Amino acid sequence: ALMLAAWLRSAGISVEVKSDRELANEDLQNNLIVSGGPAANELTKNLTKELVVRFSFNGEWKLVRNFTAVENPISFIFSNGSIKVVEPDTQIPQEYPLGVVQTLRNPWNNEKFIIVIAGVDRYCTRKMLRYLNYRSSYLIKGKTFFEEGFYVQWLCFTHCSSLKATQRNKNG
């Protein structure tokens, strides 16, 4: 997060860095950049239902597509000099290093957005920082491939109340 903040500041962007434990309810009303997967960042964990690319743990962290969170998803895998359209039931190649950068509408304020930068571990998260200038709705990067996806995200009505309650309970 500090590396990202330094880069943004060098581009003239004002940034405030806070850990997930330091966030207050009013902070959640803003545009946010969230760094770290669900094991390292409680906010990423709380956003799981909203994420188009979720984290799943079964002995090790994996990435799983969640196209039910958005409308009209279309994505492409670029690998070995070829481009393929991703079918909805296609598994994400689980190769190391592996991470994702994705944008979602802020469930606490529909006029704002959240960018989640995360990898299957801290080293992969750090590698994903270099892909912040992506032009798609999400980018998954593995060792031998990358996938770019585009979608329309609904205004948040379904999960918002449970997310707000979770954050209120955490903040006391």
Q: Residue 153: its pLDDT value, please? A: 73
pLDDT digits (tens, 9 = 90+) for 110-168: 888 888 999 999 999 999 988 877 788 999 999 999 999 999 876 655 445 455 455 45
**Closest by Cα among 123, 104, 127 to 43:** 104
Length of the chain counted residue by residue: 172
- Above 50 in pLDDT, residue 11? yes
Please write the tens of the pLDDT for every residue from 71-119. 889 999 999 999 999 998 899 999 999 999 999 999 999 888 888 999 9
Q: In what order do the strands lie in the sheet with 99-105?
A: 32-35, 113-119, 99-105, 138-141, 145-152, 71-79, 82-85
pLDDT of 132: 76
